[in-house]
Amino acid sequence: MGERAARLRRPDYPRTGRSGIRRWLPSWRQSLSLFVFALAGLGGFVAYAYAETQIPEKLNSFATQQDNVYYWADGTELARSGWVQRQEMPLSKVPDHVRGAVLAAENANFYSDPGVSLSGMARAVGRMITGGGTQGGSTITQQYVKNAYLTQDRTASRKFDELLLAVKVDNRLSKDQILEGYLNTSWFGRGTYGIQRAAQAYYGKEVSELDPSEAAFLASLLKGASLYDPALGPKSRARAVDRWAWILDRMVTTGVLSAEQRAAYTHFPEPKAPPRTSTESGQPGYLVGLAKTYLQKAGKISDAAFDLGGYQIYTTFDRRRTTALASAVGKVRKGFDPKKPKDKYARTGAASVAPDGRILAVYGGPDSLTQGFNEANAVTVQAGSAFTPFVYAAALRDGVRRERDAPRTPVSPGSVYDADNDLPVLTPEGPYWDRNGKVVKGKNDGGLSWGRLTLHDAMARSANTPFLQLGMDVGLDRVARAAQDAGLLGAGLGPRVPAFSLGNSTPSAIRMASAYGTFAAGGVHAEPYSVVRVTRNGEPVKLASHRKDRAFSAEVSGEVTDALRAAYRRSAAASGEEPVPDTAGKVGTTGDRTAGWFTGYTAREATAVVVYRMDLRNVTPLPVTGLGGTEDADLTYPGRIWSDYLKSVAGRGE
């Protein structure tokens, strides 16, 4: 009995009573026991591996990082920043027919499956064994896991990890959450991740604007964007058309479309040509910099938030105006040779601002990648006599006081001032003495003496000495207040000495255009801004409201405009040009001839142009005389740029 029990406990292997090969072949009972044991071991291993598998706390960097997209005022793409071209979109904003196209193409029973497909996994393993790789056979949940948590390696171990994670994710997240994540992390070709960026890249639309036919094509790209993009050649297009048609038919089968709806889509929805690579070089780089700076203030968006991405930024910048401004500057700069001492360090800044505050165009420099310094936003150049309209406006608004403790008296365009050259500047106590004990005297451009002129005529002739004295009579603090009310920043205003009235302040071209625009707007100043609206992943981001304040009465503003129209007509006549109707503007020069301005406006926009020379290594102003072989460069080049630009945009009836 004991011997029999021992035999029962000990496997009969090698098998007794057998010889040859049969002695070593297990019996059917032994084979069944071995299979059951192996199956139990495999099950235990899978159970242990599943228990030990943890869903990572953080998604892959490509699954979270997005690009920021900037748009021109007309809605076309201006530029984008960031390493990954992806824009998240909540599932609630993805139309049902877009979701349906994806499900029909990739995983029709997504909402009922357990997150994995055993038959698909078997096919994938078979392909791996036969050398065909492991792609295919994945549910949407598995594909999302691969996108969000795993590498793109095609190995058996990575596939096993994918299987376990897919089951865990399916148990933890809702199907809608998984589908949303999948649509936002999938690769669609043309450098894009996510259905939103794909809609923009292929059709120039938001995902919410796609029709079922377009959705079917985008869904075909999930099979392999490099195989189905029609732009990659005739074979790719043929594959795309076949798969597009198949997906539409599948959408009928899955109930997304009716047969009648499907019948309406007989023509392949040709996607647009791939866009040229958008960078931040050239002028777009300066524009992006301005928009980002504005958003950091108006939207309180931090650098860290920008780096995370996902913003759609709709700017005020006009593409045609920006091109026209760059072209006008380029025509002048062709005559500059940086190898010549006189032309070295030649710089140009320009900006055009609408009366309501929208920054329409900017010329910030030759290229933002080679020179990050934005010359349109620089506060290193004196305004010179381009500042005198603010003195005039202050006088018309606040009046003057020529004697101490006397009441202020009103000023009109017909008020007369001495416009001779080399006139001493007077205070109620007598001449104004500088720190060196010398009487300060006013100088007119070219040393001209005009005799007695009305303020209107003094502005029209760009006579300096009347406004030097007028500033003293108004009071320099009141002049400063008027300049700030018009739109200049207090931080850029110069010291309150007589030269203040002739522009010892250093406003940027953007601020100068904005301040002149106050006169174009009938005396109402609107703070310049560069962004109309911004969204993140389709949700609006709140921005500070655009400020508007009345700086001057309509009468004061109108009288300044009348004088500047006369100044513009005189300037155009001197240069032999036909003036643009209903345009006001003025030349601006500095006493040391280191900069020249032309600032003017129409009812549509105000534009400021400054040409100067400066070594940016030490921010030292240098004379512009002789620049480009022209002795009066400060009087010539800014006006030429301004005129070319204005006629270009006026010629289009804008």
Cβ within 8 Å of residue 430, ≥6 positions away: none
Which has more confidence, 16 or 402?
A: 402
Which among 440, 438, 441 has a CA at the least distance from the CA of 423? 441
How far is Cα 292 from Cα 387, in angstroms, rounded to an integer?
Answer: 29
Which among 455, 469, 466 has a CA at the least distance from the CA of 401? 469
What's the mean pLDDT in 374-381?
Answer: 93
Min mean pLDDT across 110-124, 432-446, 481-495, 593-607 is at: 110-124
Q: Which of 106, 214, 559, 605 is catalytic?
A: 106
- HSE-up (13 A, CA, CB side) for residue 182: 27
Query: 560: buried, middle or exposed (CB in 10 Å: 19+, 13-18, 0-12)?
Result: buried
Distances (CA, A) of 199 to 194, 207, 271: 9, 5, 9
- Report field, pTM of the whole predicted structure over 0.75: no
Distances (CA, A) of 293 to 91, 302, 538: 31, 10, 21
- pLDDT at residue 475 is higher than 80: yes
> What's the confidence (pLDDT) of residue 389?
98
Q: Which of 213, 352, 368, 385 is catalytic?
A: 385
Distances (CA, A) of 594 to 62, 232, 456, 614, 625: 50, 54, 27, 8, 8
The one-character DSSP state at 298 is: H
How far is Cα 296 from Cα 531, in angstroms, rounded to an integer?
Answer: 11
Contact 241, 297 (CB under 8 A): no
311 three-class SS:
strand
Tokens for 248? 């539409």
**Residue 189: how many CB atoms within 10 A of its CB?**
20
Residue recorded with tokens 């896991």:
145
Band the pLDDT of 538: cuts 50, 70, 90.
confident
Contact 377, 511 (CB under 8 A): no
Min mean pLDDT across 27-36, 58-67, 279-288, 632-641 is at: 27-36
The CATH 3.40.710.10 domain(s) of the chain lie at: 69-81+281-382+506-550+588-654, 383-503
- pLDDT at residue 28 is higher than 70: no
Which has more confidence, 581 or 161?
A: 581
Which has more confidence, 607 or 299?
A: 607
- Helix (H) / strand (E) element for 346: namely strand 346-353
What's the mean pLDDT in 31-44?
Answer: 52
Catalytic, 385? Answer: yes
Tokens for 457? 């005529």
Helices marked H in 221-315 — which ranges? 225-228, 234-253, 259-263, 282-298, 303-308
| CATH code, residues 69-81+281-382+506-550+588-654 | 3.40.710.10
Catalytic, 77? Answer: no
Band the pLDDT of 618: cuts 50, 70, 90.
confident
* Mean of all residue pLDDT scores within the chain: 85
> What's the confidence (pLDDT) of residue 84?
63
In this structure, which amino acid lies at residue 422? Answer: D
What's the mean pLDDT in 234-252?
Answer: 94
- pLDDT at residue 252 is higher than 70: yes
Which has more confidence, 125 or 173?
A: 173
What's the mean pLDDT in 184-205?
Answer: 87
The CATH 1.10.3810.10 domain(s) of the chain lie at: 85-263
> What's the confidence (pLDDT) of residue 42?
46
- pLDDT at residue 163 is higher than 90: no
Contact 567, 584 (CB under 8 A): yes
The distance of Cα 309 from the centroid of its chain, to the nearest Å, equals 12
| CATH code, residues 383-503 | 3.40.710.10
Which contacts of 24-30 are long-range, i.e. CB under 8 A and separated by 24 or more positions?
none
Tokens for 25? 């072949």
> What's the confidence (pLDDT) of residue 31?
59
Domain 85-263 is of which CATH architecture?
A: Orthogonal Bundle (1.10)
How far is Cα 373 from Cα 612, in angstroms, rounded to an integer?
Answer: 14
Instruction: Write out pLDDT tens, residues 309-337.
Output: 789 999 999 999 999 999 999 999 999 99
**Residue 103: how many CB atoms within 10 A of its CB?**
20
Band the pLDDT of 651: cuts 50, 70, 90.
low
Tokens for 239? 């594959």
